[in-house]
């Protein structure tokens, strides 16, 4: 049994990671400011510290006695990072630095950092490989890349085994809905359940590598235990690109509807095409896509349909 601290552990991805950790019999402490995360996402067995990763003092206390920190806390909206770059930088850069300092001071053996495919930025080469040069086009992408560099520097200078996971477009139950910066899949599903047209910013030909949450949570826990991965970066995605037009079509099929999307102007900071090369994660982390895009989307539709009843 290991002892974990999960920042942002009451949120969408973090709470699923906590579930996997608890199923394995680990002790879990969560640090979350509950700005987006919810207490009801957490099992009673979890110790909850209501605080913020910008509060170094709280992190230093929360990190005591743990074997691994899984760092999920973030301002994860690209559009919000464009609108509020200072705020997102404080959370995504300073917050990550604070996590690493706390890990160093508490002599935590490993940190798993939730990075993002946004670090790659724009580029025609697909799939996106960890060997590619990163050219982020949003403040969020810059901030996550900065976090990766901090992880590598702390691995080199302070002996912390830091592992960075570049999540692609994660979706599934507990994802934030109804907010101004909510993710595309729950936003589309909820609109279409109400008979409304989903809004696509652009022509709909842009692709995303959608990956179901259970795949991501499992890979994150695996990364906390894998050997010889310190200072390394891994893509965590589905390994395929799906256009937003295709996404609307699949949702229509699941709902038995024929709703057409509304097309708006492209948004700042959004990339056009995305697809993950997941060979390295397969080789070093034993990663595999356990639940396909189609199966995960069906589960998500079912979950949101029940919520709306």
Sequential DSSP letters for 127-155 = SB-TTSPPB--SHHHHHHHHHHHHHHHHH
Distance CA 253, CA 89 (A): 40
140 is catalytic: yes
Q: What is the DSSP letter of 119?
A: G
Write down the catalytic residue from 120, 140, 212, 287: 140
Distances, alpha carbon 303 to alpha carbons 62, 105, 107, 192, 292, in Å: 33, 42, 40, 14, 16
Q: Which residues pair with 207 in a beta bridge?
A: 243
Sign, CA dihedral 155-274-141-96, equals negative
Could you give the CA distance from residue 15 to residue 190 in angstroms, rounded to a whole number?
Answer: 22
CA distances from 160 to 110, 122, 230 (A): 6, 31, 8
User: Which residues does 25 contact at the CB level (< 8 Å), separation at least 6?
Assistant: 1
Enzyme catalytic residues: 140
């Amino acid at each position: 049994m290991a002892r974990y601290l999960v920042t942002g552990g009451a949120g969408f991805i973090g709470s699923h990671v906590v579930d996997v950790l608890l199923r394995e019999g680990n002790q879990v402490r969560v640090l979350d400011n509950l700005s987006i995360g919810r207490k009801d996402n957490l099992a009673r067995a979890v110790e909850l510290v209501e605080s913020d990763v910008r509060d170094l003092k709280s992190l230093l206390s929360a990190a005591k006695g743990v074997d691994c920190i899984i760092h999920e806390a973030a301002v994860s909206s690209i559009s919000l990072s464009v609108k509020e770059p200072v705020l997102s930088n404080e959370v995504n850069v300073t917050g990550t630095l604070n996590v690493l300092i706390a890990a160093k001071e508490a002599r935590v053996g490993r940190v798993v950092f939730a990075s993002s495919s946004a670090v790659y930025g724009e580029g025609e080469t697909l799939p996106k490989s960890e060997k590619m040069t990163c050219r982020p086009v949003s403040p969020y992408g810059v901030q996550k890349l900065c976090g990766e560099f901090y992880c590598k520097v702390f691995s080199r200078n302070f002996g912390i085994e830091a592992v960075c996971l570049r999540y692609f477009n994660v979706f599934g139950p507990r994802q934030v809905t109804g907010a101004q910066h909510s993710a595309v899949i729950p936003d589309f599903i909820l609109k279409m359940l109400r008979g409304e047209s989903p809004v696509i910013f652009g022509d709909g030909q842009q692709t995303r590598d959608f990956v179901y949450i259970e795949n991501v949570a499992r890979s994150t826990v695996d990364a906390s235990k894998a050997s010889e991965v310190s200072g390394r970066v891994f893509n965590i995605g589905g390994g395929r690109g799906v256009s937003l037009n295709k996404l609307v079509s699949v949702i229509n099929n699941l709902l038995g509807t024929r709703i057409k999307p509304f097309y708006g102007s492209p948004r700042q900071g959004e990339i056009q095409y995305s697809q993950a090369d997941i060979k390295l994660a397969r080789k070093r982390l034993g990663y595999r896509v356990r639940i396909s895009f189609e199966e995960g989307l069906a589960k998500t539709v079912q979950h949101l349909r029940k919520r709306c009843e």
